[in-house]
Amino acid sequence: MAPSPAREGPEEETTILWPATPKERSSVWPAVLTVVAVIAAEMAVMSWAGNRYRNTGVDYVGIAMLPVWLVFVCWLVWKFRWRAIPVFFLIMVLMCGGWGIVGVSHFTRPKAISAVCAIQLGAIGEELKAYYRKHGSFPPAYVADASGKPMHSWRVLILPFIEENKQYDFNEAWDGPHNRKVREEPTGMYRCPWDLTMCDSGTTSYLAVVGPHTAWPGPTGSKLEDFKDGPENTIMVVEVADSDIPWAKPYDLHVGQMPNSPGPPGPSSPHPRNGFLALFADGSVRYLRMDLDEATFWALLSRDGGEKVDLKQCSVVFPPDSS
């Protein structure tokens, strides 16, 4: 076998250079759709938080989302460079618009719900008047059985005059087998819509102030001539936040157990601006200051104390601001 011919000169190494492929440019549209979806989700969560936890829920959701948006914007700038500018402006426009809508709701919702609460109290006043026209007096604070034990509340005595009439059985006590099922049903008439802890419960936000010299002396109903101070100057019903008292239970605030000024365990309110709603014997509803002095507070609770009270000085402008 003949030897292969020798190669002349040094052996040259050859390197194959593959043609470089152009780098694909990522589309910004997935990022745009993600931005829209995230902002829509954030607005939905804010709305839910506002309804569930009042205005503080909106604040907490907004604060919690700030670092999320900061990381997202940094990722956009790193990935898309100058092409992220339109996406960034889209984020700003959508967020500012969404936050603006939520912000308007944030400040107007307390006014609207407080107004609804006042309307409900006014409706209770109308039912009390209807009871008066039929029976010649306001209902008693409670109806007792033969042994003197409270059996029915004034709240169930005016049920026949309310459109939202429960199938209440007056032949058994409020906690009887049939009435127990009725009272467990939530009722909008006796619950402030701003009292969110009571949304799904059969409890009440509105309690009477009972006891000597009040509009509710006990098992007997008051007449207009009993209000020596004038029905327009005597409180009949106040709102109490988170009372946990079933609406059908014959239980209210006793004047001898209340504090010397509004506040727990007396009148209290989930509404802003440090006030509470009160229904007067003439059917009017006022938003009273929570910082009423002792003399003024007790003057408004008594029906025949002879005190002179300037209601304008006792009231907060209604509907209250949320600031």
Question: pLDDT per residue over 75-103, tens digit each?
Answer: 777 777 776 677 667 667 666 665 655 55
262 and 238 in a common domain? yes
Would 6 be classed as within a structural domain? Answer: no
User: Are 208 and 201 contacting, i.e. CB atoms less than 8 angstroms apart?
Assistant: no
284 and 181 in a common domain? yes
Cα distances from 177 to residues 148, 243, 244, in angstroms, run 20, 23, 20
265 and 213 in a common domain? yes
Domain end (from 61, 89, 109):
109
List CB contacts of 7: < 8 A, sequence separation 6 or more.
none
62 and 182 in a common domain? no
Q: Which amino acid is at 152?
A: H
Domain end (from 109, 143, 159):
109
Mean pLDDT score across all residues of the chain = 77
- pLDDT-derived band at 49, boundaries 50, 70, 90: low
Query: Which letter does DSSP use for residue 207 in this model?
Result: E
Q: Between 167 and 133, where is the model more confident?
A: 133
Q: Structural domain tally of the chain? A: 2
Helix (H), strand (E) counts: the chain: 6, 7
- pLDDT-derived band at 22, boundaries 50, 70, 90: very low
User: Are 113 and 58 contacting, i.e. CB atoms less than 8 angstroms apart?
Assistant: no
119 and 93 in a common domain? no
Range of the structural domain that residue 55 is part of: 29-109
- pLDDT-derived band at 282, boundaries 50, 70, 90: very high
Residue with tokens 């205005």: 55
- Strands 206-210 and 253-254 turn out to be parallel
Would 225 be classed as within a structural domain? Answer: yes
Would 178 be classed as within a structural domain? Answer: yes
User: Are 320 and 273 contacting, i.e. CB atoms less than 8 angstroms apart?
Assistant: yes
Extract the tokens encoding 145: 């059985």
134 and 103 in a common domain? no
Domain end (from 60, 87, 109):
109
Would 91 be classed as within a structural domain? Answer: yes
117 and 62 in a common domain? no
